[in-house]
Structure 1
Amino acid sequence: MQPPKISLPYFDIVLERFAEGDTDAEQVFGRHVHWGYWENPVEADGSIADFTVAAEQLSQRIYAAAGVKDGDRVLDAGCGFGGTIASLNENFNQMQLVGLNIDSRQLEKARQQVQPQKNNQIEFVEGDACRLPFPDASFDVVLAVECIFHFPSREAFFREAKRVLRPNGRLAISDFVPVSVFYHLYNFLRKIPTFSINSTYGNVNTEFTLNDYQKLAIATEFNLNLKEDITRNTLPTYPIVRRFFEQAGKQDSANVTGLIEIASRLGLLRYCVLGFEVISG
């Protein structure tokens, strides 16, 4: 069964810039298409080179939350252009690495630029994260790097992750997690004609709180054993993304990103890394 088609305007813009030969866009988003992580954000210099290092550091922080080690079989759901798979491939040995994505265009680029090394095996699969096309108990680790808010159902994804994970398997994600006050701001922003988060980032659900995650973990037989709020470490991302949209002639998207930045700087929308482990026995 073919996965459903979804709206991906953000990737439409990125891929359009690639096709036009925009080397800056390729450097910014050619490997990782997610926010960056700066250990000391005041030292961020706003350059493309600085951001690409920070984006790599964010991927490493998320798979570290899952305790990835040599020899693991790892699924990266929503793998984008394969950046996290590439990072694992470069830093670990004897891995079985699988990247899953619903968009064949992203997978095509991932297959072109990520080749196995260090006795690793790599496979990129087109599929739906809420209906994983893999057998039971077939992975040690499942990752979802900055993509779970696009999934039709977090619960469906968690249940599928639990199904494909082996006993004591680990799940790590990153997500934009709101505080309750955010809902009032978000409802206000939605009344602004030029504020359309969906027309910039596609289908997005940013209404899932940390308390919701704790309940979801219990319901799907996971322990939530790691919670990291890294909002301040990701803030230097916003000027980079706004500049990308402005250079692409997408001022409305730059404005939307700026409003999200304000919510993040006010502490209303938090960027969190969450680590889970299957409850066995």
Structure 2
Amino acid sequence: MTRVPAYFDAFLTAVAGGAEIDHVHLGHWDAPGAIGPARARAGFAQAQDRLSAALIAWLDLARGHLVLDVGCGFGGSLRTIRTCHPGVEVIGLNLDPRQLAVGFRRDRRRRNATWIAADACRLPFAGGMFDRLLCVEAAFHFASRRDFFAEAHRVLARDGVLVLSDIVLTRPPLPEEEVALLADGLEAAFGPWPDKWASLDAIGRDAEAAGFTLLVTDATANTEPSFHTIAPGRSDRPTSGDVLRELHRLGCLHYLYLRLDKR
């Protein structure tokens, strides 16, 4: 079985202690250059809501749609869909039953929503079942984006749409031993990350091979203030986000919004 990223243990511990955590993804700022560390930390939850809302808007939802949220975490995006689009039915899917349990407990309506534990690369659904798929900041953890895209294409109806945010890393122009240290740091803090240096061209080829047309928006600059929050750069207490901040500093981290339309 594919392992769950270890950083979720800390989130789950915080939730068990009473923390209200809706999202575990980065945030979106419309004017990132004006956002300093203090403002980023203070507005991080709202920025996470904006990122989720931006991706949901790209789904072009309509009454009667059935939506699958792949890697749904604690269900924050799923709840946003249900609030903004009450005529839409949603299913949250996650590999980790612990995260699903948190989402289920917070689901106060329990209507038009289902929670399922399964692997994104082996979706337990009939072909053509869904109108839309959403996947927020999870695909780089999957064993294979190619397999996920093939499964997404299979379960989407005619004219179906998959919208996702993804982190794409360019191999840094550093000596091999330094690249290996960064790769080890990524795996330790954020693994599983099977294909760390997958290029956007390769992802595009996989999407096209699965039967999708791909549209890409680069949101790297908009997510940049997130690193003030997840990796504040305290030398006396390194954080798990330090390796992402370093890759971002090197210009090797690209945060992308992807829309894949089924052909």
Unaligned ranges ≥5, structure 1: none
Q: Which one of 148, 152, 158 corresponds to residue 149 of structure 2?
A: 158
> Cα deviations across residues 97-119 of structure 1 (Å, max 9, x unaligned)?
000000010000000112338xx
**RMSD (CA atoms):** 2.4
Q: Secondary structure at the match of 2:159?
A: strand
Contact map agreement 1:137 1:165 (CA 8 A) in 2: yes
Partner Cα separation in structure 2 for residue 270 and residue 128 of structure 1: 25
Q: Which one of 164, 170, 174 corresponds to residue 173 of structure 1?
A: 164
Give identity over the alignment, percent: 32
Alignment of 1:86-97 (within 5 A): 86-97=79-90
Q: Secondary structure at the match of 2:27?
A: coil
Deviation of the 1:184 alpha carbon: 3.9
Partner Cα separation in structure 2 for residue 172 and residue 201 of structure 1: 22
Matched residue, 1:13: 10
Matched residue, 1:272: 256
Partner Cα separation in structure 2 for residue 192 and residue 137 of structure 1: 43
Matched residue, 1:215: 205
Q: Secondary structure at the match of 1:140?
A: strand
Alignment of 1:132-211 (within 5 A): 132-179=123-170, 182-185=171-174, 187-192=176-181, 196-204=185-193, 205-211=195-201
Partner Cα separation in structure 2 for residue 35 and residue 269 of structure 1: 13
Q: Secondary structure at the match of 2:165?
A: strand
Unaligned ranges ≥5, structure 2: none
What TM-score comes out, normalization by structure 1 length? 0.84
Partner Cα separation in structure 1 for residue 168 and residue 182 of structure 2: 24
Deviation of the 1:131 alpha carbon: 0.4
Partner Cα separation in structure 2 for residue 175 and residue 235 of structure 1: 14
Partner Cα separation in structure 2 for residue 176 and residue 109 of structure 1: 25
**Aligned structure 1 segments of 4 or more residues deviating by more than 3 angstroms:** 42-49, 183-195
Pick closer, same or farther for the CA change 1:91–1:111 going to 2, 3 Å: same
Q: Secondary structure at the match of 1:75?
A: strand
Q: Does 1:125 align with 2:116?
A: yes
Pick closer, same or farther for the CA change 1:164–1:195 going to 2, 3 Å: closer
Contact map agreement 1:41 1:233 (CA 8 A) in 2: yes
Partner Cα separation in structure 2 for residue 197 and residue 263 of structure 1: 10
Q: Secondary structure at the match of 2:39?
A: coil
Q: Secondary structure at the match of 1:88?
A: helix
Partner Cα separation in structure 1 for residue 104 and residue 49 of structure 2: 19
Contact map agreement 1:65 1:273 (CA 8 A) in 2: no
